[in-house]
Structure 1
Amino acid sequence: MMTATPHDDNPDAMLSGYRVLDLCDEKGLLCTKLMADLGAEVIVVEPPEGSAARFRSPFYHDQPDRETSLYYWYFHTNKRSITFNLELPDGQALFKSLVQTADVVVETFAPGELDRLGLDYEHLHALKPDLIMTSITNFGRQGPYRHYQASDLIGLSMGGLTYLCGEPDGPPVPPGGEQGYQLTALNGAMSTLIALWHREMTGQGQHIDVSMQAAVVNTLETSHQTFDFNREIRTRTGRQRQAAAFILPCLDGFIAVLSTSRMGWPRLVEWLRDEGEGEAIADPQFTDDFYRFEHEDIVHQTLRDFFATRSKQAIYDEAQRRRLPLAPVNTARDLAESPQLQARDFFVEVEHPGLGAIVPYPGAPYGLSETPWRLRRRPPSLGEDNDAIYVRELGLSRDAVSALRAGGIL
């Protein structure tokens, strides 16, 4: 079990010593989470009532509260929380004071909003010339769509990914989860780390402009080239990825199988024949990938019938014994119980003293031998670090803090 500890207890972490101010909605939360998990001190700047992420379901034990959102918890481990109202002059003054202590600001305001508040890059750069500011928006800061509203679904659709998802004879279907937001945030994190490296080399800060639409477009693989060179538009492939590549139902879920001739088709057929099945695909002509692709309906139905009466674990065990690229389509329960993830100590238990609970969190997908990743602290309660920042760091008196709170600033 890991218990939450102060933010600076991991001096060997990759981003230890950097301070990041987080003014993000859903498009940027993973960006700042990645930096916090790598050791940066990330301070979430929330309005006095709390950020919108605090009110997103699901909630711990289905009890809605701004301190129990599992959505907020996931994206805010290792972060700190302060509150102030950026719409008011006193809140803007506090933010400017804080910027002078920061290395990075990550924000997701619509283009022009921070300009209106006098908190745009030009103003903040004048206060802190080596500041890195990462602006994550729906369509970027330039272009005819820069002021358009968007959600994750709109970002995926405008970026072209939704068009590629679904069955060939059905409508486009967006991928699960908020993949548009997460792709955008990943690009935000990567570009911010590059800018930090550039600053280490030159001393220069810079303004980073991240577009959700562009981030999604960058995931489309050969769709651009297919159109540019062949004037063809790639369409949905559904369950089929290439010859004999399928998602198929089984007794207790689904399995994914890839078996081209190069990757085990003869061994797959041998398995079916050993079980007294698979006559329809036993013809040697099916060894040819193009022939198999042309007769995909026969292949699909034969494999579907074979796997439908077997459990996914039994299928997986036998497939691995036969060295076939086949695996279960894991559910959340499967992942929580995965012996592979357990062997890597992927899940980390974090104590929530206010709830009297220990909660498991997903860990890092990577291991760093010299700059260790650590889940150092639980997600913060609203304004948990107000005193530490305003009183002990910025030097405000407690009376001043109380007055700011009474005035709706904090």
Structure 2
Amino acid sequence: MVNLILDNVADGVFTVDPHFKITFFNAAAEQITGFSHDEAVGRPCFEVFRTPLCGQDCPLRHTLHTGEKVKSFEVDILTSTRKRQSVSVSTAPLLDGEGNFVGGVETFRDLSPIEDLRRAMRHQFTFDDIVAKSATMRQIVASLPNVARSNATVLVEGSAGTGKELIANAIHGASRRRDGPFVKVSCGVLPSAILESELFGSDDAQSGRLRAATHGTLFLDDVADIPLPLQAKLFGALEPADDEGVRVIAATKHDLSQRVQAGSFREDLYYRLNVVVLHLPNLAERREDMPLLVDFFIDRLNLRMGRNLQGLTHGAMSMLLQHPFPGNVRELENALEHAYIVAAGSRIGPDDLPAHVRDGAPPSPGTPPRSERQLIQSALERHMWSVPRAAAALGMHRTTLWRKMKRLGLERPA
């Protein structure tokens, strides 16, 4: 009966004898570690529950030697597939019915949802956040650890919405510069004078982004859109990176070599940036990744919005797989967020998807007011017309939501 109960709790539980041999391994422990009950039972715990603390600093060893409990100790384990997993560990002595010491019990909670939320709040991502089943994406992901270990300048090419910033952020997060700043400059949206000030600071205050990225990474998004006069100044400021300087990762949705031939991009700057080149495919070229991407985004939305949506119906998934997605992964993410907010059932159905996906047409440049109204009203109703909670669910500031409500004529029902 006790084993049946423990197999239905969410936390991993295993017990060991006085010699650290596993005697029980519940279902949650199987799910978190990747080891089955039969694989775990009878083996030393350090062969299954693998942490950097195995040995002298092991919480379970401390409990077995002293009889003292350990509570909520955070540590990383290696799963059966050698994936790093963050868990919170608690240990206690295991006593028989007469109070005699017979071993120890360890419970552990999967902290990966909390870690995902922490990273999202800090805008920090790892290679685990890059969904890759297609051969092209697997090849790119396989190269990233070596790219991260170097100081080389990286040029990330790809259409809008393919995930260039995610790749840049993951490279930074896996590099020796991970504790330094990740500084983004959106080169395509700023006028030349403002962009120059952003990069280099004003004449009397060296407060530019280039200096702010010292010991870290400078991410130049839409680098092809930097005006020619400013390209010369940037070339002069960019030195080959070392551990003390600034590493540059640039991103572009244009072919820079064609821009060079057309005379709109400096050749010397092109070769300064063109050291390691990563070309990200369009979503239409990696459709086998789409079910994994759907699961990834639904899990993230469940975590953010406090729901437990089970995914998509077969009809909705078929509709997504047939859509061309000219906006790539970003369009897919936006379509899923729309569907997530309006879905009333436990799964997203075809009718929950945006109209342009249902109709097989590309999205219009501006969101139709009626669609925006539907999204906002649905979020407000789901959160009992609490503006702070609805704003958090929609991913916008509460004042932005107030303005949109006023513009759309949305008022709390009397």
Q: TM-score range by the shorter chain?
A: under 0.3
Structure (1 or 2) with the greater helix fraction: 2
TM-score by length of 2: 0.23
Greater relative contact order, per chain length (Cα 8 Å cut-off, separation 6+): 1
